[in-house]
Structure 1
Amino acid sequence: MYFYLRCTNTAFSIKLFMNTENLLIPTVAVCAVRTEADHRSEMSSQLLLGEQVFLLDELPGWLKVRSVHDGYEGWCQAIQLAALTGDTPAIAGYYSGHTGFANVNGQPMQVFMGTPVYEGPVKAGVYDIRFTGLGFGYGNTPSLPVLVEAIAFRYLNTSYCWGGRTPAGIDCSGFAQMVYRQLGVHLLRDAWMQAGQGEEIGFLPEARCGDLAFFDEPDGRITHVGILLNDHEIIHASGKVRVDDIDHQGIISRDQGRRTHRLRLLRRITAD
C-alpha cells in the first residue's frame, strides 16, 4: 500500500511504502528520536504524543521508525511506542495551548503545543488515549501573516535544544516546522530540507511576515532557518527563540551586536 505525505500546497510529497499494521504512535508526551539505537546517540528529533510513525526495523529495546508527517527517520525506545489498534479517529488539529493535559489510561499526561488532537479516543497497544479539552485552531484570524506571528511568539525565549520540537526546548528547523504545522502545513524536519519547499523570493524587500529565511556555512551547507516578521526582523531559535535584525547579508544579533548568520535564500510557504 502506498502513502503520500503532502508537505505544502506546492505539491511536494513523500511516498512511503509501508503497511498500516506497522503504524505506531508515542504513548509519552515527548519521545526522543536518535540517530542510532543507543541512549548516548545524538537526539536528531522528537515525536509528540500521538504522532504517527511507520515501523522500519527493530533491535532489542529499540524501534527504527519513519514519521508520517515529515518522513524523518530515527531510533526510539520501544517502550515509548505502541501499535495503533482498531479504527483510529482522524486528527482534528494540533493543540494550540502552551501546555495542557491528555488522558492516558485514566491518568493525566502533560502535553505540549503542536501535539495532534484526535477526534475521539485512540487505542494503541494497552493504552487508551483521550484528547478531550485540548483546544486547537485560532478562529477567524484575518490573515496568514498575523497568525504566523501570533504562533511564533508563543515560543519566544524557548531554550535552544538540538532536535527539540517543544516549548521546553526547540531547534531552528523544529521551530519553523511546529509553527507551520499549526496552520496545517507540514514542513520537513531539517533546514536544508525545508529550503526546497515553497516558492523562492528574490530579494529581502519583497519578503513578508511568515516567509522563511535560510542561512549557510562557508562550504554552502544550509544549517539554519528562521521566520521573517517583516523585511528587517526575524524570529529564530539560536541560543533561544529570539527576535533579531536581518539585512541582505544575514542576521545581526541584538544581544551580541554582531553578524551571526549569512543569508542564503528566502522561501514563501502558503497554506491551503
Structure 2
Amino acid sequence: MPYAIVVVPVAPLRATAAHRSEMISQLLWGEGVEIINTAPDGWVEVVNQYDGYTGWASLSHLEEVSEEIYHAPATHYLPEWSNEILLNGQPMILPFGCLLKGYTNLSAKWGNVQVNLLEKPPVLPAAGSPVNTKHLLADAKKFLNTAYLWGGRNVFGVDCSGFVQNVFKLSGIPLLRDASQQATQGITVDFLQEARLGDLAFFDNPEGRITHVGLLLNDHEILHASGKVRIDPIDNQGIINADTNIRTHQLRIIKRFF
C-alpha cells in the first residue's frame, strides 16, 4: 500500500471519511502514515507510523513517499513551542514535537518534500540517550494552560493521553495513543508514596475503564490535561482540583517507564 508523510502542521484524524466526523486523534507534520483504504472525495484510511492509530485523513494533507523514506528513522524533533520552516519554499509554522528525518545542515528532504529551517533550532535526538528528567519536565511545562481538545496532540489543543505521548516522545519513549493503551505499558509502581518525576498515573471511571492519564511531578502533584493542562494535587484516592477543591479523578494505577 502507498506510504505518505503529513505536510500540514496538524491534520485531523477522523472516525469516518467526512469532515463532520469525530476527530479521534491528530497527525503532526512529518509523521509517516500507511494508506490502507480509500474513499470518495479525497479521503484515505491511514495507520499512523508512530503509534499505530488508525483513522481517516484528507489526502490533501499528505504527500506520498517511497517505502524507503517511510521506514527511515526519525532523527530529531522540533522542540520550540512554534518552529518556522520553509516547506518547498513556502513558509510554515510547526508546533512543538514535529519530527525530522535525515536532518542535516538546517535542511531535510523526503522525496518531493524539501524542508529548510529558517533559524537553527535546538533540535533534540529522537532516542538513544538516557532520559533527562529536567528536560522532560521543561517539555511538559510548555503545555501548561493549553486547552483540552478531544483527540488533540499538540500545544494548541491536547487531550490527556496526547499530552503525555508528546512529552515522552521527545525523551525517546514511545507511548501508545489512548490512556487505556498506555496503561498496558511500563512497570507498575505499587504505592503513590514511591512515585517519582516522570511516572504516569492512570484513572478510571465508575465502570472501571481507564479514561485519564497524567504526569506525576512527585508523590503529591500531577501535571495533566483536564479542561486545560494544569498542576493539581493528588493523593491515594485520586486528583483534587486545586481551584475548586473537588475530587475529579479516581486513581487506578501508576506506571514507570524509565
TM-score using structure 1 length: 0.86
Kindly indicate whether the alpha-carbon contact (under 8 Å) linking 1:117 and 1:134 is maintained by their aligned counterparts in 2: no
How far 1:93 sits from its partner (Å)? 1.6
Matched, 1:129 2:115: yes
Aligned-partner Cα distance in 2 for 1:68–1:127: 18
Cα 1:269/1:39, change in 2 over 3 Å: same
Q: Residue 16 of structure 2 is aligned with which of 13, 36, 39?
A: 36
Q: Which deviations, in whole Å up to 9, do the C-alpha atoms of 1:88-120 show, x marking residues without a partner? A: 364222111110112211011100110002324
Matched, 1:107 2:80: no
Q: Residue 48 of structure 2 is aligned with which of 62, 67, 81?
A: 67
Q: Which runs of 5+ in 1 are unaligned?
A: 1-18
Kindly indicate whether the alpha-carbon contact (under 8 Å) linking 2:3 and 2:67 is maintained by their aligned counterparts in 1: no
Kindly indicate whether the alpha-carbon contact (under 8 Å) linking 2:30 and 2:98 is maintained by their aligned counterparts in 1: yes
Aligned residue for 2:136, secondary structure, equals helix
Q: 1:50-199 alignment to 2 at 5 Å?
A: 50-60=30-40, 61-85=42-66, 88=69, 90-120=73-103, 121-124=108-111, 127-131=113-117, 133-137=120-124, 144-199=132-187
Aligned residues: 247
How far 1:144 sits from its partner (Å)? 3.2
Kindly indicate whether the alpha-carbon contact (under 8 Å) linking 1:117 and 1:136 is maintained by their aligned counterparts in 2: no
Q: Which runs of 5+ in 2 are unaligned?
A: none
CA root-mean-square deviation:
1.9
Aligned-partner Cα distance in 2 for 1:93–1:237: 25
Kindly indicate whether the alpha-carbon contact (under 8 Å) linking 2:131 and 2:171 is maintained by their aligned counterparts in 1: no
Kindly indicate whether the alpha-carbon contact (under 8 Å) linking 1:102 and 1:134 is maintained by their aligned counterparts in 2: no
Q: 1:205-224 alignment to 2 at 5 Å?
A: 205-224=193-212
Q: Residue 5 of structure 2 is aligned with which of 25, 29, 38?
A: 25
Identity %: 45
TM-score using structure 2 length: 0.90
Aligned-partner Cα distance in 1 for 2:250–2:86: 45
Cα 1:128/1:146, change in 2 over 3 Å: closer
Q: Which deviations, in whole Å up to 9, do the C-alpha atoms of 1:105-149 show, x marking residues without a partner? A: 10111001100023243335x5433456343228xx996332221
Kindly indicate whether the alpha-carbon contact (under 8 Å) linking 2:3 and 2:66 is maintained by their aligned counterparts in 1: no
